[in-house]
């Protein structure tokens, strides 16, 4: 199994899941953005994005799908919530929410504050999408009231997928307002997991 990775990007989700599951894997780490700095990567993943997992005939480019695939295929059910569980729907919702709803506005912020050339940077876009992100995060703050984990009272890949969005907010975009009491407590204990530490090694 081979994971194409860039430090402190969504590929942290995949790396964190590999580590939680204790799997053997080959890691290919590239400079960001690989589309520009490692052009040959587009022959492997035409989107040019990370993560990208190759496992035999299987190739996956979505970070949350990689976590789901690894947990389904190689986990013993520990990192998943079973269909029969009352929180199964909530579990799926957190997986999709993590990238489509809360990482998306952060990616726009990164683009218009860091990645674009100076003449295309936009404080207005960054501010607007920060507000958008913080509004969408309220659902997480209230869901974490009296809870250590998002679903089924134990650590699952929903915590990995949402946890990465918090890594992004804290360490890349420095959105301090995101760390309201329940989210701050949740992030604090996620960040102590050995697999979290390995997946973010030396970058926080």
Ligand X SMILES: N[C@@H](CCC(=O)N[C@@H](CS)C(=O)NCC(=O)O)C(=O)O
Contact window for ligand X (CB under 6 A) among 60-68, 83-91, 121-129, 175-183: 60-68
SS3 assignment, position 28: strand
Q: Which of 27, 28, 53 is nearest to 38 (CA)?
A: 28
Q: Of 49-57, 80-88, 119-127, 170-178, which part binds ligand X (CB under 6 A)?
A: 49-57
Count of H-run helices and E-run strands, the chain:
10, 4
Which tokens belong to 50? Answer: 């990370």
Distance CA 59, CA 96 (A): 19
Question: Which residues, in sequence order, are CB contacts of 190 under 8 Å at separation 6+?
Answer: 159, 163, 166, 196
Nearer to ligand X, 32 or 184 (CB): 32
Residue 170 contacts ligand X per CB under 6 A: no
The least CB distance from residue 84 to ligand X, in Å, is 27
The yes or no reply on residue 62 touching ligand X (CB under 6 A) is yes
45 part of the interface to ligand X, by CB under 6 A: no
With CB under 6 A as the contact rule, the residue among 9, 106, 113, 200 that binds ligand X is 9
Sign for the pseudo-dihedral over CA of 115, 188, 17, 200: positive
Stretch touching ligand X by CB under 6 A, among 56-64, 147-155, 178-186, 189-197 = 56-64
Residues that bind ligand X (CB under 6 A): 9-10, 33, 35, 48-51, 62-64, 99
């Amino acid at each position: 199994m081979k994971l194409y990775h860039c430090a402190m990007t969504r590929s942290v989700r995949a790396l964190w899941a590999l580590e939680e599951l204790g799997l053997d894997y080959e890691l290919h780490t590239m400079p960001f953005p690989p589309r520009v700095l490692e052009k040959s990567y587009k022959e492997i993943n035409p989107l040019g994005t990370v993560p990208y997992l190759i496992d035999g005939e299987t190739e996956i480019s979505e970070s949350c799908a990689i976590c789901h695939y690894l947990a389904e295929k190689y986990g013993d059910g520990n990192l998943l919530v079973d269909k029969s569980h009352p929180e199964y729907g909530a579990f799926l919702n957190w997986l999709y929410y993590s990238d489509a709803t809360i990482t998306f506005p952060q990616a726009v912020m990164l683009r218009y504050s860091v990645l674009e050339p100076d003449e295309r940077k936009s404080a207005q876009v960054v501010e607007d999408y920060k507000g958008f992100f913080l509004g969408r995060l309220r659902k997480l703050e209230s869901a974490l009231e009296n809870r250590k984990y998002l679903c089924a009272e134990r650590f699952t890949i929903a915590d990995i997928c949402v946890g990465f969005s918090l890594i992004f907010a804290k360490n890349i975009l420095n959105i301090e307002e995101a760390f309201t009491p329940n989210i701050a407590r949740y992030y604090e204990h996620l960040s102590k997991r050995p697999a979290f530490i390995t997946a973010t090694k030396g970058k926080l």
